[in-house]
Amino acid sequence: MINVFEEKAVCCGCGACVQSCPKKAITMVKDKKYFLYPKIDEEKCIKCNICRTQCPFQQENKKLLETNVKTKVYAVKHKDDIIRNTSTSGGIFTALSDFVLNQNGVIYGAAFVEDLKVEHIRATTAEERNRFRGSKYVQSEINNIFQMIKKDLLNKKNVLFSGTPCQVAGLKYYLKNLSDSEHLILVDVICHGVPSPKIFEEHIQKLSEIKQVKHYSFRDKKEGWHKHVEEVSFIDGITDNKTKLSQSYKKYFQQDLMNRESCYNCPFANMKRVSDVTIGDYWGIEKIFPKFDDNKGISLCLIHTEKGQIIFNRIKEDIEYIESNTTDCLQPQLEYSTKMPLNYDLFWNDYFKFGYNLILKKYTSVRLSRKIKNKIGRLLRKLRLTK
């Protein structure tokens, strides 16, 4: 078995190479962190090099993904409070996907499946689509989704695909000219980096020592949108969003300790997006449009293409919105990649050598010096004095 890539830092795991191989010579294999990487079976490989030409991380490919359209920026909240309460931010994804579903279309997105694994799946009803709501702070498995989307497009079905920027880029290369189809709308999320499925699995196993976990929310809004709270729902109906254990996963995430290596070298962490529409949280809305913020969640919606603007115009009856600009809406992941922390290797060495209990104890207690450093960093970024 040989690699498609030269080093892990240039593979995002989108799977475009696997689904493009004419000889089915490539499989996705988990490493120790449970990140998937493509491996080539030399006996099946005909050296056509399609796998490398489909890779969105290849330098010669990156410019092909850039759009020249001036981005429109909106702050958005859904008019239906129930939808907004069950969404991570303001409910823009539900409004966009409802429009496609009402056109007898299909939606593809990341959902919890068996054993709380995160995978991309296909939805044709609102009930199925609702599984895509809410942030998933773990890398999803794409499987054969790109092939399913291609089949839907060839059958003239309307399709909305939502994913990370690198997943959207991988899909565009796989589809080639079909990515310009009027039947396809591409939605990427503002991505901080994709954390390890292995650490999340260990986290769930640790919680399950108390009782079986039924559902997990990375960003619960019972205490308001501005406060990041994890909530665990157990099989007996009891929930936990207060204990140190239930709030520990976000501590690893906030320290950028468990991301895929390519996330620290992301070519898509900028305003030159690969999608028709980019969605995320409109952080800082309370300063830009204080009357629009009610602490129930506001979506940031960036429109990059004519297709994106058309669908946005058609959902205006379902949303409240304010037009903004690319200066006021800026946040770190729209300017640069997440920086690999100095203790990244130490974190993983500790985990592989001593296990989950050690990192739970060592990396979830934020020292006073770290808190001060974080506050100074946030202030300097707001003043545009540093990245």
pLDDT score at 387: 53
The pLDDT tens digits for 117-139 are 999 999 999 999 999 999 999 99
Confidence of residue 3 (pLDDT cuts 50, 70, 90): confident
| Distance (Å, whole) CA 316 – CA 214 | 36
The single residue listed with the structure tokens 């396809």 is: 184
| Core vs surface per residue 291-301: b (16+ CB within 10 A) or e | ebbeebbbbbb
Q: For residues 50 and 164, which has the higher predicted lDDT (pLDDT)?
A: 164
pLDDT score at 127: 97
Q: Is the pLDDT of residue 65 over 60?
A: no
CB 138 within 8 A of CB 196: yes
pLDDT score at 272: 87
Query: Going from the N-terminus, what domains does the chain have, and what CATH number goes with each?
Result: 2-54 (3.30.70.20), 65-194+260-334 (3.40.640), 197-258+342-382 (no CATH)
CB 110 within 8 A of CB 168: no
pLDDT score at 368: 44
| Distance (Å, whole) CA 140 – CA 109 | 9
Per-residue pLDDT averaged across 16-36, rounded?
94
- Name the nearest CA neighbour of 334 among 292, 284, 293: 284
| Distance (Å, whole) CA 57 – CA 164 | 14
Q: For residues 56 and 321, which has the higher predicted lDDT (pLDDT)?
A: 321
